[in-house]
Structure 1
């Protein structure tokens, strides 16, 4: 019987930019591909190849190295685009064009292209929406992370032969057995090692994830007021920057507005350390999507500050409509601190029911990820790639 050739995956995404959420997605994709094709090679296109290689143990090439990209695509057998929300123009039209171009280049090298665990949109430009639709038609398989993205692609004319509904790959970073009860609270070892003996042993731990956003400054005083009241009730408030340098500024601004003590995570987190940190928490208040995903991985009740559709979409996937707290869409409006406080109190009052629902829904998401990987294996076999 002939020996299988080594499978080489080329992986494109927003990697190497010190964004904890995207690094979690990459860690999850590498883990899934390792299970799917043991012994395979993965070449990651990265903004910081040295950092990516160090953290993830994968080969990496700079996204700005034309010769290196050419070599990677020539060696590759499968091109993976994802995860995250790469195909949208709200953050940047230039980045959208970059990711679309990478798909086109991969097809020019005759690589089957798989969109893996992504969302789609939003788009501010009809032209960008049309370009994305045309380029995605080149893909062998599109695995989306949420029903809204699936609906959008069906509306664009894609059918089930090319689509699969899975979940964000990061939900499968840690998944207990179905009969394992969700844990309640952690040991606080990491929290006390970081903040010392001044971090209390008692009181619920609330992890808070804030990020830069054009309208966030108008909301911070209300957030601080709500957090102050929780602190007076014995809660321990810990701000966690996900993209450290950018998020830390916003977290500091909010902490400075508080009258009560709060803690600010002092250093960039790596994926495994962040997973441990969320395991030591009780609740999460998050703008960053992957703060909510990390909370869900540990079955922690959460409230999402919905500045972008992806935050709302994830909470709807969990069937947690009441956990969506909408941020204002114009500068003339802010948020009500008492309403925010009431919703945070709701997390505690309904903790047992929320934990059980999250446990169920995340388990279903992990099953969808596994099913998507089986579909991926089938599609690649049909394209002549044996895993």
Structure 2
């Protein structure tokens, strides 16, 4: 069996990343590959996983691999930190130096703010043994300027959503808020109440958002029943709401896939991802006040994206499998 190393922000409890790694791993196993995954030490569950912070172990697995897969997300950005950017860059650069094919599968690029990050990213994208399935048109256009092995693709987690046996049962009085950074949602809550909503669920998509979500859920507004829900209940809660207000990419994606009106708050990555499927849509907000103003607008919107999202996703996985079998 050929060995693949699957790289990403895995094992940290971020729901979007866990959706991606789950479905990518299952696909690779179905294609007959052996898959190894670096995760935090405390999250190691089996012999196919190893400590991502053990550099010697990481390089050992690179040398044993027939190809390296970066499975979804936006790991090559320095908005979070240059340290994170350089961690992933070093993995891919060393892999290519060892003449290992590297495949970016459903990734976005940027934002990169430091000149060094920009130089390193351009250097990486120019490598001949690098293959890119870009998640959105902006990333695809940028990558294709440096690399001829660039394909416009989509998000790998769509395949995960397609396997779920869920029929949305939208409750007209329920809204789900997926917070990340904004500390107050008062304008949103007041407008939701004005529009007849009664139940507000604060739903974190990552462990680092849980404290904020609980604090927001404890805020009291007469006439609103506010509650906190665990990440493992996320998809069920989303599919039972009539509007989703999300600061997280995969919160908005889940709503869009199940045709639930959504507002994506200050998330340029999601806006540029979804625009080819939904060219005219009022649900992109700059801040909380802007999000409050747009609730009524999105409630009057109707769309049906599941078919086009799934078609693009299945096409991406098919091309991915063909490329892997040709390369290794």
Instruction: Give the C-alpha shift of residue 276 in structure 1.
Output: 3.3
In terms of Rg, which structure is larger?
Answer: 1
CA separation in 1, counterparts of 2:197 and 2:318?
47
Q: Which residue of 2 aligns with 1:344?
A: 295
Task: Determine which of 278, 303, 313 is the counterpart of 1:369.
Answer: 313
Contact 2:40/2:52 (<8 A) preserved:
yes
CA separation in 1, counterparts of 2:205 and 2:152?
27
Name the count of aligned residue pairs: 324
Could you list the runs of 5+ residues in structure 2 that have no partner in the other structure? none
Q: Which residue of 2 aligns with 1:43?
A: 36
Instruction: Give the C-alpha shift of residue 20 in structure 1.
Output: 1.2
Aligned to 2:117, what secondary structure does the other structure show?
helix
Aligned to 1:284, what secondary structure does the other structure show?
strand
Q: Which residue of 2 aligns with 1:24?
A: 19
Q: Which residue of 1 aligns with 2:274?
A: 315
Instruction: Give the C-alpha shift of residue 98 in structure 1.
Output: 0.6
- Does residue 251 in structure 1 map to residue 220 in structure 2? no
CA separation in 2, counterparts of 1:67 and 1:153?
30
Could you list the runs of 5+ residues in structure 1 that have no partner in the other structure? 1-5, 177-181, 187-201, 328-334
Q: Which residue of 2 aligns with 1:14?
A: 9
Matches within 5 A, 1:1-387: 6-35=1-30, 37-38=31-32, 40-48=33-41, 50=43, 53=45, 59-138=48-127, 139-154=129-144, 156-159=145-148, 162-175=149-162, 183-185=167-169, 203-212=172-181, 216-217=182-183, 220-230=185-195, 233-244=196-207, 246-259=208-221, 260-265=224-229, 267-269=230-232, 273-306=233-266, 308-319=267-278, 320-327=280-287, 335-336=288-289, 340-350=291-301, 353-354=302-303, 356=304, 358-359=305-306, 363-383=307-327, 385=328
Please list the CA deviations of residues 268-317 of structure 1 after superposition, one character each: whole Å capped at 9, or x if unmatched.
42xxx5333333333211001111112123222211112x4213223323
CA separation in 2, counterparts of 1:125 and 1:140?
23
CA separation in 2, counterparts of 1:206 and 1:48?
37
| Structure number with higher strand proportion | 2
CA separation in 2, counterparts of 1:124 and 1:227?
37
Aligned to 1:204, what secondary structure does the other structure show?
strand
Contact 2:106/2:153 (<8 A) preserved:
yes
Contact 2:187/2:292 (<8 A) preserved:
no
CA separation in 1, counterparts of 2:167 and 2:198?
19
Contact 2:122/2:146 (<8 A) preserved:
no
Instruction: Give the C-alpha shift of residue 243 in structure 1.
Output: 1.1
